[in-house]
Chains A and B, each alone.
Chain A
Amino acid sequence: QSVLTQPASVSGSPGQSVTISCTGTSSDVGGFNYVSWYQHHPGKAPKLMIYDVSNRPSGVSHRFSGSKSGSTASLTISGLQAEDEADYYCSSYTSSITVLFGGGTKLTVL
């Protein structure tokens, strides 16, 4: 598998919650608790939002949370704010000792 599967786009209104899924296989997402999520505003450095499936780095808002069920990981953003509008990528360690990224999801705040 060359890329993890993410929806191309999601949207929500301010204050609402959205969830972005990331589907892999038992050789990556399903096999390890090593899934990260990144927020990327074009032209800027990607920012780590979630690591090891559900851990938030210091400084990241509690509105961001991560989970996993089987081979699908999810990023949930609650209380949507305008500044959350960005591209989001999941990433997983694999059994081949490589890294896979998702194709990216564009979040639009309506």
Chain B
Amino acid sequence: EVQLVESGGGLVKPGGSLRLSCVASGFTFSSYTMNWVRQAPGKGLEWVSSISSTGTTVYSADSVKGRFTVSRDNSKNSLFLQMSSLRPEDTAVYYCVRVLGALLGDYWGQGTLVTVSS
């Protein structure tokens, strides 16, 4: 069974930093591109970033470029999102997503809530 478990969310002040983690199980993690997708309170889904299976290629939304960095450790079946210069509009539930093809996902984690507020 595919499982994706996110952690690392919490309350952070504007301008602060936070690192999200996602541990994968039930599939060969090193063979899949992975995504981060977020959902702000009362809003729709927003793609954040994608990282190739080897970690050599990364794509990111303009809204987070230069502030968020996605990475992975295939030896630990783990995906990360380093977030810096956080803004109130980054407040959202962040989901870890396995990519099926063309950057579109199939399996999603339960999400971790990030709240940016003073």
Closest B residue, CB atoms, query A48: B106
> Is the CB–CB distance between B59 and A97 below 8 Å?
yes
Q: Which of B45, B61, B111 has a CB less than 8 Å from the CB of A89?
A: B45
- Give the residues in chain B near A52, CB-CB below 8 Å: 101
Instruction: Using known A-B contacts A45-B110, A46-B95, A99-B35, determine if residue A93 contacts B45 with beta carbons closer than 8 Å.
Output: no
Taking the closest CB of chain B, its distance from the CB of A88, in whole angstroms, is 11
Asked if A48 and B47 make an inter-chain contact with CB atoms under 8 angstroms apart, the answer reads no
Of residues 55 through 98 on chain A, the ones whose CB sits less than 8 Å from some CB of chain B are 57, 89, 91-93, 97-98
> Would B103 and A97 count as touching, CB distance under 8 A?
yes
Q: Size range of the interface on A? A: 20 to 34
Question: Interface size on B (CB < 8 Å)?
Answer: 22
Contact A101 B46 (CB under 8 A): yes
Q: What residues of chain A lie closer than 8 Å to B95, measured between beta carbons?
A: 45-46
Cα–Cα, bound, A32→B102 (Å): 10
Q: Is B14 an interface residue (CB 8 A)?
A: no
**A32, A36, A40, A103: most-surrounded residue (chain B CB, <10 A):** A36
B residues sitting closer than 8 Å to A (CB atoms) are: 35, 37, 44-47, 50, 59, 61, 95, 100-111
Chain A interface (Cβ < 8 Å from any Cβ of B): 3, 32, 34, 36, 38, 40, 44-48, 51-52, 57, 89, 91-93, 97-104
What are 5 sample pairs from A and B whose C-beta atoms fall under 8 A apart? A51-B101, A91-B45, A97-B59, A101-B47, A102-B44
